[in-house]
Structure 1
């Protein structure tokens, strides 16, 4: 029976870590640290739940069912599961996350060196997606290209930045903004959504499993075990990166007060600590981090839609790279503006799906539990999403003041109530073969 060597397992863990750590993972924690001030570690706890805990749990859940999101979503039916999968793949693929990797890496790493503007962005994104295209053409070699080469470079760069954040703080911790002073945990929890890591885990599951199979491992038990180990390695790596970036942001009040985003915080810190050479370092770090994530997302989306639509994998890689290139040239501000309400709406049902997948032994029928809970989570997630748009005034007053609504968690209490009601119905109906028609 074929097994992975220790160095292959480590490379798999590095690959999984590298796939997750993209632009959002680097730019959002410093902003949380800056705004949370003395409450930074309580905010960090909430952030780590949605940006580390949920992605690792999702990798484990997918590994148990073979890596495919279709198997995980089977309790809600083929059509609903297909729609959910398509939405997740498109959100973390060509619509938002993949183009965002190019725009963030340009604005944070390259724009200070080349100047901002449509032409530099286009030229950068063109070269960027040409690289993404060529690496993504050979998904079976991801363990070699990403796990053994790109990931270690990325880890070294992140380690250097992380150590500097603790050894060379820019200054004392500043005051918290009102939102973080009032509810640091929930603010951190919601900001963890923006990394898209849980949605990314739903997409990367099949990439991780295929990377294991590319080494000749066929045993479902071994595939699950290796995927869990890879998820845990990635989770530890993510937590270490976030802790260092929270500390970096919290100590940057004197040099980045009033910064509009985490990219500005990072740039201010690197410029302050490392001088002009810091800009070059930051450009390499961000570009490398984003490139690896873009490759993983493109491979995953191409593999999914190739199987779902029966289209050639390489043709889909071309189409995804071209579409991502076009969307990336809309600019970072527009991408973030459109992505926030979408993520706020689709995260709750995805969280419910992953959480309930570990509890299937507690009830008679998965479908009776998972489908209604996910539906309720989606409906109230959409309420949270609408509250963050210009259409908030159209919401009925009762929906605007639900429990935990101020924390952006209006979906949580209704979902728990839906779960309780579904469990009671499941108990009354009994096992499906004996259920009353």
Structure 2
């Protein structure tokens, strides 16, 4: 049984550790400078703590994340969970992983071109489809074989950073000067891991069921243990590569986190460093893509009744088409959507653990989610570039608005109001 915790925990680590997990911590490190430690603490809270809680939340229900969202309303459950799976799947998550894998594993050795991206993504998605066809074997393939190789490569890179990078962190950028912890907290949204965990949770639960864990309490405990294995690994990696980023500021300007890591790898190990980083990126993005394809396949198969094999073929092909639009296009569209989805997911996860405390009242879910949706929709629209001066002047009175957490107090207020007017919930 202990081996199962480790194997499934390693699989979960590999599923989480993808494109965003590689490119955002180094960016945080170089921008936060001398404020690195509070900034990375905030980042870890949303980038590690919330995903582990989300996986555990899914273990409380019989089916998948839709059952959690259905506690608000069945229509909300259908719409929200579909948005989550499409966002982490073919629209953003999987294409982003493929393009990051290309830019950080192939471009250092080539000039890069649309043709090379096309060829790379063709091979990448064929392999993703092949591994995704049999979900029951995915745990062993990733947990026992790919993750140890990935971890070994990351350890070599991080140890090299601690031994060979001796620059002193610089003054933090403006956004990390006043409230580095909360800035890091919001930056953790960009990993997409908390919403991805709503999808990965059912894979973890299914893996433990395949190994004979059947009781509700047993599934929750087993899922938490596997989540802790993944969480410890993610925390160590985020802190290490973020620390590397904080030491790279004196070395020049970099376009993104990938460029920061590439520069650090080249400084430490030369051509071998670029090759090592390429292995890390390719494995990280591949394992995440496989997990997301499987999760989308299982969810939409259950929703539509269409064959799992057909669903993963559509998800893989759609991701392939969007990946060839390029990384910048994918990021520019994904950030506003994540800004909208993430607060709703956070509130839903927290309510799951408080479910019995407030008497399972459906009104609490509805009140908290309704006000969260209003604020999150405003935040998402402003990220798209839509200016609403009159609305902004009102929203600016919300506590924590300047920190990107304007939804927090309205969510609490909505839940309290719902509790005051609670009724016995209908069966979900």
Q: TM tier, shorter chain?
A: over 0.9
Task: State the 1:24 CA deviation.
Answer: 0.6
1:63 pairs with 2:52: no
1:323 pairs with 2:318: yes
Residues 382, 170 of structure 1: alpha-carbon distance in 2 compared, 3 angstrom cutoff: farther
CA distance in 1, matches of 2:402, 2:364: 27
Task: State the 1:354 CA deviation.
Answer: 0.5
TM value normalised by structure 1: 0.94
- After TM superposition, the structure 1 stretch with the greater mean CA deviation from structure 2, 401-410 or 150-159, is 401-410
| Equivalent of 1:269 in 264, 280, 295 | 264
Task: State the 1:366 CA deviation.
Answer: 2.7
Who is 2:196 aligned against? 200
| Equivalent of 2:415 in 415, 419, 427 | 419
Who is 2:274 aligned against? 279
Tell me the SS of whatever aligns to 2:273.
Answer: helix
1:296 pairs with 2:296: no
Task: State the 1:89 CA deviation.
Answer: 0.4
8 Å CA contact 1:139–1:299 kept in 2: the answer is yes
1:166 pairs with 2:162: yes
The Cα RMSD (Å) is: 1.6
CA distance in 1, matches of 2:392, 2:296: 40
Who is 2:333 aligned against? 338
* Residues 2-401 of structure 1 aligned to structure 2 (within 5 Å): 5-66=1-62, 68-255=64-251, 257-393=252-388, 396-401=391-396
CA distance in 2, matches of 1:343, 1:50: 13
Q: What's the CA shift string for 1:364-395, capped at 9, x where partnerless? A: 34310012211211110111122223212455
Tell me the SS of whatever aligns to 1:79.
Answer: helix
CA distance in 2, matches of 1:408, 1:95: 24
> What is the aligned length?
425
- Structure 2's unaligned 5+ residue stretches are none
TM value normalised by structure 2: 0.96
CA distance in 1, matches of 2:185, 2:348: 18
Q: What's the CA shift string for 1:140-196, capped at 9, x where partnerless? A: 101211111111111111122222222222511112111111221121011100000
CA distance in 2, matches of 1:168, 1:401: 45
Q: What's the CA shift string for 1:17-51, capped at 9, x where partnerless? A: 11100011011000001000000111111111110
Task: State the 1:300 CA deviation.
Answer: 0.4
8 Å CA contact 1:154–1:285 kept in 2: the answer is yes
CA distance in 1, matches of 2:374, 2:81: 17
CA distance in 2, matches of 1:389, 1:225: 41
Residues 125, 170 of structure 1: alpha-carbon distance in 2 compared, 3 angstrom cutoff: farther
8 Å CA contact 1:383–1:410 kept in 2: the answer is no
Tell me the SS of whatever aligns to 1:76.
Answer: coil
- After TM superposition, the structure 1 stretch with the greater mean CA deviation from structure 2, 270-279 or 411-420, is 411-420
Tell me the SS of whatever aligns to 1:172.
Answer: coil
